[in-house]
A and B are shown apart, each in its own frame.
Chain A
Amino acid sequence: MNSTNRVLNRLFLLVIGLVVLIAGATAVAVTTVPAWSHLWKRSAPGWQSTLEHAQQLGLASIGVPRPVPWFLAATPVIALVVIVLLLIFVFAQGWGRLGRVVDGWHVADGETDAFLTVDVEVARDAIRQAARGIRGISEPAVTAYRVKGEPALKVTVSITDGIDAATLVEPLESALREWDGLLGEEVPVYLQLTPAIGEGVRAPLRALTAGRRELSLVE
């Protein structure tokens, strides 16, 4: 549900894949197809000469005493630009998570004129409370994301081994409607039903959650 640009990811993989594929196919063709081998042998001295007689750049201003070929000077600059662009690409992945389900709704009637803000923790506690009576599921994990400019909730529920998930949809819908009633609005919800992890792992997690609650009460 995050805002990762999937089209860009696939386009990036496609372009790099095609470049690598064409380079690989050319290398194989040059080594195995006689006509391509001849072409390589004929043109290679020309490229070599171009490289060796490339225009020289004077870099005395940055402390390099002798001139160097232009492409040798350009390589670090191009590498730096590529690295910066790819860092931007990598760090643009995975955004879109929200801390608030409602951020600045204008509530106005005869008596009230205010802006409403609801944190995700409120949605989480409300949905957990409403789902408490449903047997065979873990405590729901609730997160919020921006989808098409609107807040949406992701509710992940682990199901005890062997329980038919289809039978849990209706009670979970009821729990979500209780949350709708509390909020007074229907926020889009994505409900994901996953297999429960082993009992041995679940028990300490529950204990930790309970411990945190006690701590927050002391605070």
Chain B
Amino acid sequence: MDFPEFSSGIEDKEAVVQSLFWVGGALCLVATILPLVLLFRPSRLLRQAALWVLLAGTGAISAAAILVISRSLDLHLTLLSITPQLALSFRLDKLSCFFVVIIGAVSFCAVIYSMTYIAHYKSERSKQFLASGLAFFILAMLLVVASSTTFGFLFFWELMSLSSFFLVMFDLDKPETQKAGIFYFSMTQMGTIFLLASFLLLYRFTGSFDISAASNIPQWGKGLVFVSLFIGFGTKAGIIPFHKWLPYAHSASPSNVSALMSGVMLKVPIYGLVRFIIDVFRPDLWWGIVLLFFGSITALLGIIYAFKEHDLKKMLAYCSIENLGVIVVGLGLYVIFDFYGLRVQADLCIYGALFHTLNHALFKSSLFMTAGSVVQATGTRDIEQMGGLIKRMPGTGAIFLVGACAIAALPPLNGFASEIMIFQAYLTSFSLGRPILEILLMAGLAALALTSTLAAACFAKAFGIIFLARPRSGAASAAKEAPFAQLLAPGILAALCVGFGVFSYQLISNVKSGMPLPDMLPIGIIVLVLTGVTFLLLLLTRSPVRKTETWGCGIPSQTGKMEYSGDGFSEPIVTVFKPVFRTRKLSTREFYDKYNSIPKSSSGEIGTLKFFEERLYVPIARFFMKIAGAVSNLHNVDMDALILYSFIAVVLVILGVGWWL
């Protein structure tokens, strides 16, 4: 203790934090078990009680984490130690608690949302399962970021992956869910293997499983560990080219789960990256360049894919990929600036990346929740079947609009508040003095600028097509407003989006003073005042208001089919970025006569090549299938060959043991 006179106070706080943490964890565990107690006689009461318990649990853990951050505590707790080396122990410091707060707060809202959302599923059994799985998933995520050993980290990481896998497989009758599940499972396991490899390598060099500063690692070993960590974490965070599971899994799972997966689970690998970059290693320059490169590509391609998508939840998922790219760009820039000792810019980037992590968690989970309500109300995920929903679901629409503005990085909301930190770092990097590197940075800057406006275009399209104009289908015109809990949860998050945007300067200066950032509060006030003044001035004109039909070039009555469609909206950008989309246009025409003048039949098709799936994933899968085929050929043999196999195996073992000893 640095301050002996306060030591008793701090110990008090530590005791409080400790008990809150354990109680919260225990409550989450209780919430996991509770719905499953009477599995054969599912009861609504137990399920609802479990959700309330879970609410209390996430609340308690968040409170503990906030306490740690505000008092700058650093706690070590141990749950279980198998051997002194292999222990499930936790460390609550500022960084891990920042992520605990994100997970806790978003989960809190997701649980509120689930209270009514779960009810719309048909089977009672599956409802119980969903409530239980949700609790376990949340608990696992909380414990991953709190873990202080690589052993515990990997243990809870696997629990998190498995529980989320079961939640993705919730609607397992649908073929798309099965595809999503297989994709998710195989990719997340691949990621885990890389993590395992890097943790074992780290153990080989440091001789300990603790996540703490690692020194005396040879240069090549450090690089190897980093690459392995990057692939492992990148797979989970949806960094392109390891992203393919993400749109499938997010669209197939129930909306409360996708809100959690996208809003929160994607942040866990970010925690891992930050922890290892800041605390464990002293990063090399090329780490930063790798992160910057993949981050920029991910951000740009993510939003370009999102723009084309007309499955609402897939679009949001691609948008998550984009935002994760932006966060990784921030981390990469931090490494680069830190390497050259540009303190201000490095601080801007790391705090920008962390702030964007928080902001993305807020607006993305809010968007996923409102999207879930929309999907629930219309029964479809295709935005071309929606339209006019703002009149039928005004609350959901307004919350979605706030989320859309935030994710589109419009000032003075929070999405902009964090992106400007990264922009600011880019623009003030003139003191770097390394021309070649600087040119690379400028390419990254252009990519980031394009990304953020494309996000604005994407969400103008999403909001416009889903909520504005006329309904495009019967289901959309019969949509009903979501129940109160499903408005409250995303509403809280949307309010936080506005708050963290407008008060971003004050918040950031609280954490780190002297950041060269604009103050958003006066901007917010002036915009509000100007809007009000214009409104009042316009009242003075006393213009009469008339309502009439939309002008349609004299067509007597228009229908929803005549409106501009989502695909129509995205067409110009798709054409501009044709090389990226790799659009395939096929058209065939048949004719009755040889002069090709009387058409018989024709067909046209426009599709996009799924580049990564068709050129990267499938070839790799084919390669492994080939190996598997070769191996399975070894199995289909007669008795003699099998005896030969065991003979060879025994010889190999004997030789191996002899060599080892």
A and B bound?
no
Q: CB within 8 Å of B: which residues of A?
A: none
